[in-house]
Amino acid sequence: MTERISRYLREQQPETPCLVIDLDVVEHNFRRMRELLPAAHIFYAVKANPADKILGRLAALGSKFDTASRGEIELVQASGVAVDRISFGNTIKKEKDIAWAYQQGVRLFAFDSEAELQKLVRVAPGAKVFCRVLVDCGGAEWPLSRKFGCAPEMAKDLLRKAKQWGLDAYGISFHVGSQQTDLDQWDKALAQVSQMFFALAEDGVDLRMVNLGGGFPARYRAEVNGIEAYCEAVTRALVRHFGNRMPEVIIEPGRSMVGDAGVIQSEVVLVSR
């Protein structure tokens, strides 16, 4: 808890339960990540906390935004963000929502199945698309390996089809799991992804972007490695596996951007005996 939050709770005594966010912490987290990963495009994961003041502060700092629904896109737009700073990163979307987002001007979409790819072909012609692949989530408090993503061979086949069907086969994304504490997982994932890049290039599919997803942990009560350790691990892995063929890099921080910026205050109303 920051001193500003402590003072606010002490002086204002708001009704409970309440969530109080220190926007200066959010800004510090964003600026620190941008300093440590200067070449990466930071897309804040709106689902982590879609509060308008958080979106507004990050928008003013130049953040881009990863959205998972039409509602999240509308929230970001309400903060004055141009649509070219928005990614529709949910791999399973209603076709009507894809069409709506495309009409709004969104041009960056995720997928992990042929059915989703076919929706994009129908209602988002020429859009930039990236395929989410399954990677090892060992070490994460919330593994996501069974929920999103497809096997590497399937992903390569889908990206070939994306190009054949008129979409811009832009890149590959992965997620090493939420609240990931194992620094080696990014190296393992990027080793796998780089081989996919090079194999697809031989087939005439020139991918240009790797999306690292999220996973950087936030500090709650237990201590975790600082953001510096994670950014250094990511940078080393990118250089090791891509060398002078470095793609564009996207990162989608959520928890690590806002998790340590706020406190929920509640009260015990009754103790059962």
Looking at the annotation, which residues are catalytic?
A: 47, 175, 252
Query: Exposure pattern of 178-216 as b/e (b: 16+ CB <10 Å)?
Result: bbbbbbebbbebbebbbebbeebeeeebebebbbbbbbb
3-class DSSP state of 132: strand
- Spatial distance between the Cα atoms of 102 and 99, rounded to a whole number of angstroms: 5
How many angstroms separate the most distant Cα atoms in the chain?
A: 70
Q: Which helix (H) or strand (E) holds 141?
A: strand 140-142
- Provide the 8-state DSSP code for 216: P
Q: For strands 64-67 and 86-88, give the pairing.
A: parallel
Distance between CA 60 and CA 202 in Å, rounded?
41
Residue 173's region, left for phi above 0, alpha for psi from -120 to 50, else beta, is beta
Report the sign of the C-alpha dihedral through residues 73, 79, 81, 86, in that order: negative
Kindly state the tokens that stand for 96: 């009507």
State in Å, rounded, how far the first CA of the chain is from the last one: 32
- Residue identified by tokens 């999220």 is 214
Residues 6+ apart with CB under 8 A from 231: 33, 36, 37
SS3 readout for 232-243: HHHHHHHHHHHC
Distance CA 186, CA 239 (A): 12
